Amino acid sequence: MAALPVREHVTGEVAPLLARLAAEEASGVLARESGALHLVRGRVVYAESVSAPGPQALLKTHDNLELLVEEGRLPRGAAELALLGALFDAAYFTLTPADAPARFRYDDTGHDPEVTVDAALLERETLRRRALLHRAWPDARTDDAPLHRTGSRPPPPWLPARRRAVLAEIDGERTATAIAHRLGRRTYPTLLDVRRLTAAGLVTARQPPGPTALPVKDVPADDPQLTLLKRLRDALEAL
The continuous run of DSSP H or E covering 205 comes out as: strand 203-205
| 57: Cβ contacts below 8 Å, ≥ 6 apart | 86
Q: pTM above 0.85? A: no
In this prediction, residues 139-149 reach a mean pLDDT of 95
What percent of the chain shows pLDDT beyond 90?
49
Residue 106 has pLDDT above 60, yes or no: yes
Amino acid at 26: A
* Contact present, 76 and 173 (Cβ < 8 Å): no
DSSP symbol at 52: B
Per-residue pLDDT, 125: 93
Is 125 in contact with 178 (CB distance < 8 Å)? no
Q: Running DSSP on this structure, what letter comes out for residue 117?
A: B
**In the predicted model, what is the mean pLDDT of residues 149-155?**
87
Give Rg (Cα) of the chain. Answer: 24
